Amino acid sequence: MATRTSVRAELAGTVTDGARRIGEHPYYRGLRDGTLPGAALVHFTLQDSCHLLPSYGRAHARCAALARDSRRAALLSRMAAGSLEDCTARLAGFGETAERLGLPYTADDGPPPAAPATLSYASFLGDSCAASLAAGIGALIPSAWLYLLVTDELLDHHDPASRYAPEVRKAHPGDFYRGMLDEFLDLADEIAAESSAADRRELVRRAGHAVRYEWAFVDAAWRQESWPF
């Protein structure tokens, strides 16, 4: 009987290509060289901290509830808690960033409504976790993986004299995150190995959709997307 390719190896090409596309997007080019419009950074940060990251954290918590053993539940719960705690920390830090850069944001503004791309991505995460553990894990893999790949590239190639250089350095999650991502991908491999062929295909399919949602979220920030009415 042929040995299955690990799901990490199967998804590596899709995620790496997604990271390349996201890194080449005008949003990240502008973040690297300092030309990004301040309003685009505000849009990205508020949509992420107020809406998408909380949805991501809750999706991890739902997957933790579906896990078969305490070790897996503990890892998913840690990732859930880390994501939810990050929401408050990022918003607090962004108030200082906005003041330093003269961006159109103050802490008194309150959270904006979820933009179309944000609402769609958040709904996809919730739907995936409701479908099955494999589907939920598939939907969650790309965000964690892409975050490291994109911030690695951003740190290596940004202009250290640009106005956004402090934010670029602050955004990189460091080696602790790298180790946690490895644990998460190992867990995904375990779940995929135990899944039926249909559930594994669903995991891979949801991961592919999530990569596209990550690009769409960045593009929406660049366009400062909002509802027409």
Task: Report, as an integer, the average pLDDT of 88-100.
Answer: 90
Q: How many distinct structural domains can be found in the chain? A: 1
- Does residue 145 fall inside a structural domain? yes
**Span 123-146, pLDDT tens digits:** 999 999 999 999 999 999 999 999
- Does residue 10 fall inside a structural domain? no
Is the separation of the CB atoms in 153 and 23 below 8 Å? yes
CA-based nearest residue to 7, from 205, 210, 189, 207: 189
Cα three-residue angle 129-133-134, rounded to 5 degrees: 110
CATH number for position 35: 1.20.910.10
- Does residue 14 fall inside a structural domain? no
> Residue 180 belongs to what domain range?
25-101+111-223
E runs forming strands in the chain: none
Kindly state the percentage of the chain with pLDDT values over 90. Answer: 91
Q: Which residues of 199-221 are buried (b: 16+ CB within 10 A; e: fewer)?
A: bbebbbebbbebbebbbbbbebb
- Does residue 75 fall inside a structural domain? yes
- Does residue 187 fall inside a structural domain? yes
- Does residue 53 fall inside a structural domain? yes
**Span 8-17, pLDDT tens digits:** 999 999 999 9
| CA atoms of 211 and 15, how far apart (whole Å) | 7
- Does residue 90 fall inside a structural domain? yes
- Does residue 20 fall inside a structural domain? no
Cα three-residue angle 209-123-27, rounded to 5 degrees: 60
